[in-house]
Chains A and B, each alone.
Chain A
Amino acid sequence: MSIAEAAERARRATDQILADLATAEQGVVVDSPPGAGKSTLVVSAAAELARNGARVMLVGQTNEQVDDLIDRLAVDNPDTPIGRLSAGAYIPAERVARHQNVTARSGVADLVDHPLVIATAAKWAMLKEQDNPWPWAIIDEAYQMRSDSLLRIARLFDKALFVGDPGQLDPFSTVETERWLGLNWDPMSSAVAVLLTNNSHIPTRTLPVSWRLPASAATVVSAAFYPFTGFTSATEADDRRMRWNTRAFHPTDVDRALETAAETGWGLYELGHRHTLPTDADAVGACAELAARLLQRGAVTVSELSPEPRPVTADRIAIGVTRTVQTAAVKRALRELGVTDVVVDTANRLQGREFDVTIMLHPLSGRRDATAFHLEAGRLCVLASRHRHACIVVARAGIPELLDAHPSAEPVHLGVPVKFPDGWEAHQAFMAHLGQHRVCAA
């Protein structure tokens, strides 16, 4: 598929959604695979609704997401006044402050003449009851929103557009209880799940093409994590290339892993089998070394955005991990190698972000067992779908065997829809593909 064709398909999907909005009785749900233009859709839907005279409340889940969205909205709609509801102590980020048409206030009364008002769900929930509900709400990252959070803000609006990525991590709770399983309003499930259970007539649309993922990744991610809806890459294999400015002198295993990834889009840097703590020093060190070596060798990328080779700078590289202790350990290892600005974070916090190259410390690396937490499909999906060019996975050997030894044995509950894709199955599919790009560390 050429880029023009992809753009045409995406445009048709967006037009359909905007038409749905005009006729919707209560709302529309839009499923967006990784990098499928979710923010673009939110921005055009907001502009469209505002053009028709409706005031729109926009709901993000974190302050970071809200600020990112403001930046996008303000660039595309420089003449529309945008209100940012925030806590009193909020200091606008640089990307928010640079827009003249954005006003940050702590109360909604100060923003009455702003057609677009945006805040986190937590901030919206603190608003007092008002006489006139907002005609429209746009809820971003709705699959990451817990249903109790939606319960707190649903009184504020008449109709809503829910946008999110169903393949990413489900919202979680710090308490474990089966008390509400199977109820139509389980407060621990996602906002979209509860919305659709109670309102089955609400249409669900899917965005069809991913602008972020390269062709090498779209097929793998689509098959493993979106087995029913699927999506394709907007670009073809030749549209995205990664090269090196230098040649390795005495290439090491790290070099071979980097070159495999540059060539095929995937790399598996496999360490010897061993049971380790989460902060496995070898694996953590390998993640840091891969990033450092990539910068040393001067990777450049060519893509549909720029036919001129662009260098891969440190801030375009992410190292994704599972636990916070691993974040700290990887950051320390990077410091020791003198590397700064590489983004290191857990899957939860990498959601919605995009990089040229990602390095992933596999959630099951070095583990003795595979628990539901480590098997969660969303976690792996987030880590495997942040990159535009290449993804390198660092793992101890033996993950397929570990999976075989721990088939998912989660109890099935009455009234709870079985979740697809199953994490165990997704892990197997992903590892089966990665196995073709293996480089064994000596």
Chain B
Amino acid sequence: MTLLTALARVEAAAVGRAQRIRTVRHVHLSDRPLVLIPLQLAGEACAPLAAMVGDDPDKPRLLTVYEPRDRGKRFEFVADLAEVILAHLDGYIPANPAPGDAENGGSGGGASAGQVDPFPDAPQLIVPNPNAARYLRLLGRSARFRRVDGEYPVRPTVPLLGRWLTHYAERAEVPGSALMLPMTTALAEHWATGQSDLEDANLGALLGWIEPPPGQTGQQAARAAEDPLRCPPAGPATDPTFDNEVLQGRMQAIRDAATSGDAAAAHRAQAAMDAAVRDQLMPTWGLMWRGYALLAALPEAAHVAEHWSWDTRSFTDQVEWQRAGGAPQARRDNAVSAARRLASLERTAQRVAIHRAYDDPLVMAEYRLTGDAFAGTVIEADPTRQDTSGKKAKLRPWITVETSDEVLVEPDGPGLRSPARPAQEAAVIAVTAAAGRTRVLLELEKGMGRSLTPSPGSVPAVGEEVTYTTLKDEFQPSPGFPSREQTPWTHGGPPREYVPADDDAWESS
């Protein structure tokens, strides 16, 4: 936890209400997200019990597994869920690739990723918490290797949904991705509460802090949310008391009806179980849309569109891969794909962190505290200064910034950037202390037009508030890795060709 977040938490505890720690929203929100709340049966890694799903707050769709211990029933449930989710996904996939695209990228057999233009938008999935995302990853894993023929066949939509859930769960690990958004993570990123991170993972308690009911403090609202009768857990685990006192009885009734063959009784028992599960899910359904509204009310940060374009790209590539008949995602990464993925994750994490600091003064404030940035006022400016040491005179304006921040940059150190003028480079010429404040003399380069007079507004004027930072989002060539067939002996040599097997569907993680 950073210093400013710690301070915000103390403040939140003192005033009884969560504090904003971001000025803008750093995650993409779709106009029509698909909200999905999965519930699992206690005691098994991946037995689905129910799910509430939909893109309209007024029309939640409830899917229940009446006998979660029956594997056949589980995959019937997955097929039902696939119907809802795949229909939503289809709405974002253009019916047919444009004729030109097929020519360009068709022959590569799925390796054409990156050649087809990305779709205009991608479907967003919102789940209550990171555990729900992890659970969906497991469900995807158990579904994507299932066969539509042979022993225990499933409907063709089951492996397809498995691939999509896997894709969404893998994207959820990527910094800045919002394809599958856990609500508690998104909220906690923007508000600091007076409780621990662990407690923040309780959606009801978190929203209690952010938006306590009239007359209540955040503490009171959060405590009320801990009562599983008033605020059932947001899943995927269910309340044990509910399991013992309600669920067990309803499931027994369903089994009894099945044994006796009484169709009317079976129907009644199923309706009773639906009602019980709906009672567990409806409060969370309401909270999810409240959280959505809270986030939607924040203005979107400047770089969010770019981050979302990475998600759209990944969605497009996955569609293209499936159209080209590509295999389901392998159970494990091989040496090369693991190293590639790590390099890309690290690069993305770095870029997203820099983007967020550029977009949001409250994030930049963290870097000002660690000495990676300083903010101050321009007190002197020589916008037409020229460097005449070379053959040709070059425009190199000097500005002096006075700041009360602690300045750790030094002359001849790394160059600086300003979020207001990201294309411009600033070199530190001198750092002097002056009556408890620090003056930094900077030499500017680039982003001022081609002539020897800077274009208007390109050099900060005297009196302007500016921020300079060592954070830079610069182009870095992606590192080269050997091909899979060239995996060296140090890493076990080339792996065997991956062929999906039935064993891959095992539900252990």
Q: Are A187 and B490 CB-contacts (below 8 A) given A125-B479, A152-B482? A: no
Question: Are the C-beta atoms of B3 and A151 separated by less than 8 Å?
Answer: no
The interface size of chain B toward A, counting residues with CB under 8 Å, comes to: 32
A432 at the interface (CB under 8 A from B): no
Q: In the assembly, what is the distance between CA of A187 and CA of B339, in Å?
A: 5
CB-based contact B346/A175 at 8 Å: yes
- Would you call A277 and B492 a contact (CB within 8 A)? no
Rounded to whole Å, the gap between the CB of A117 and the closest CB of chain B is 19
A residues in contact with B489, CB < 8 Å = 26, 154, 198-199
Q: Are B481 and A151 in contact (CB under 8 A)?
A: yes
Chain A 140-198 interface residues, beta-carbon cutoff 8 Å to B: 147-148, 150-152, 154-155, 160, 173-175, 177, 179-180, 183-188, 191, 194-195, 198
Residue in B336, B345, B487 whose CB lies within 8 Å of A175: B345
A175 near B349 with CB under 8 A, answer yes
User: How far apart are the CA atoms of A324 and B297 in the complex, in Å?
Assistant: 37
CB distance from A258 to the nearest CB of B (A): 29
Interface residues on chain A, number (Cβ under 8 Å): 32
Question: In the complex, which residues of chain A have a beta carbon less than 8 angstroms from the beta carbon of B349?
Answer: 174-175
Most chain A CB atoms below 10 A, which of B479, B486, B490, B493: B490
Q: What residues of chain B lie closer than 8 Å to A26, measured between beta carbons?
A: 489
Cβ–Cβ < 8 Å partners of B345 in chain A: 175, 177
Chain A residues lying within 8 Å of B480, measured Cβ to Cβ, are 125-126, 152
**CB-based nearest B residue for A194:** B491
Cβ of B350 within 8 Å of any chain A Cβ, yes or no, is yes
A148-B343, A174-B346, A175-B345 are known contacts. Are A183 and B482 too (CB-CB below 8 A)?
no
A328 within 8 A of B: yes
Stretch of B277-285, B300-308, B327-335 lying at the A interface = B327-335
B334, B480, B489, B491: residue with the most chain A Cβ atoms closer than 10 Å: B491
Q: A148-B339, A180-B333, A199-B490 are in contact. Are A325 and B370 (CB under 8 A)?
A: yes
Nearest chain B residue, comparing its CB with the CB of A182: B332
Q: B491 touching A151 by the CB < 8 A rule?
A: yes
Q: State in angstroms the CA–CA spacing of A339 and B259 once bound together.
A: 88
Q: Is the CB of B173 within 8 A of A179?
A: yes
Chain B residues with CB below 8 A from A187, complex form: 335, 338-339, 342
The reply to whether B333 and A151 contact each other, CB–CB distance below 8 Å, is no
CB-CB under 8 A from A277, the residues of chain B are 3
Contacts of A194 in B (CB 8 A): 490-491
A to B CB contacts below 8 Å, 24 in the list:
A147-B339, A148-B338, A148-B343, A151-B335, A151-B481, A151-B482, A152-B481, A174-B346, A177-B345, A179-B173, A179-B341, A183-B332, A183-B333, A184-B335, A184-B492, A185-B338, A185-B339, A186-B338, A187-B342, A188-B342, A194-B491, A198-B490, A277-B3, A325-B371
In the A-B complex, the 6 residue pairs with the smallest Cβ-Cβ separation, listed nearest first, are A154-B488, A185-B335, A148-B339, A198-B492, A187-B339, A154-B490
Besides A151-B490, A180-B333, A277-B3, 13 new A-B residue pairs in contact (Cβ under 8 A), listed by A number: A148-B481, A174-B350, A175-B349, A180-B342, A183-B338, A184-B335, A185-B334, A187-B338, A191-B490, A194-B490, A198-B489, A198-B491, A199-B490
